[in-house]
Amino acid sequence: MFTVTRTIVITGASDGIGAALARRVHATGDRVVVVGRSPAKTAAVAGELGAPSHVVDYARLDQVRDLASALADLGSIDVLVNNAGAWFDKYETTDDGFERTQQVNFLAPVLLTSLLAPALGDAKVVWTGSMSSRWAGRLDVSRLGMDDEAARDTFGTMRAYGTSKLALAAWVAKSARGAGANAPSQVVVHPGAVATNFGTNNSGPIGRLMDSALARAILTSADAAASRLQRYVDGCPTKDWVPGGYYEIRRCVKRRQLEDAALGKALTQRTRELLSPFGLRDES
């Protein structure tokens, strides 16, 4: 029996959910491409799987462009898993002029996905989302990308993280509306609260809590979360795949903000303003 091998690119695959998903995808016989921030950890996972790898720091948009150029050499990508992400316990701007949480979780993966459009075609794009986007996210499009005293004074770790994930979910929902038949099919998935090294960027109380024995005892394992994401990589866990939908584990959650056409339009315009200088494709 002839089996078609898919090419699956996984970002944030040097540790945690991404590494667990890379192992699962590799075990099915698909070709996995490992993308991570840590050179040592990325090389270790790639070496274990005999897979190609790329190192990128999402706090540097020039590196995101270089990554897109390298991945384009694959010819075509069947599945892109935008899993890379982080939270930080203090306000800090990147060399590109954006707050780190916003750039790493939203701007960088949006730019990468846009630059990869020719290689993606009608591929599948699975974004790792977060339930925090529902209870901590506060999206003010007019202030997206702003770096001023007000932004610094109102910064909070979970608010910044939740807002970045809310912006991501709103962007994906807007991208799916009116997308052509040859456009990627995209969903955002919250795979569960996971005990990983995700919080090691955070030296504050949240980071200490996430790294505690209690957290690791009650939170979902990376492999369990990866198995949930794999359902979306391999197909849809429910009868109908909702393009642009936001899923919490298996359930597609309806959210007014994500269906708000005016918000989606404003977010698109603002994101283009911020990322066009870095090469964002105009897909209007």
Compute CA 70 distance to the chain's CA centroid, rounded to the nearest angstrom. 19
User: Is the Cβ–Cβ distance between 192 and 198 less than 8 Å?
Assistant: no
Question: Residues for the chain: how many in total?
Answer: 284
Token pair recorded at residue 139: 């999206």
126 three-class SS: strand
Active-site choice (58, 91, 161, 247)? 161
Specify the DSSP class assigned to residue 110. H
Token pair recorded at residue 11: 């970002």
**Does the annotation mark 247 as catalytic?**
no
CB atoms under 10 Å from CB of 123, counted, come to 21
User: Is the Cβ–Cβ distance between 129 and 187 less than 8 Å?
Assistant: no
Rg (Cα) of the chain, in Å, rounded? 18
Token pair recorded at residue 247: 């899923």
Name residue, tokens 């990627």: 184
CA 161, 167, 171: angle at the middle one, nearest 5? 145
Active site residues: 161
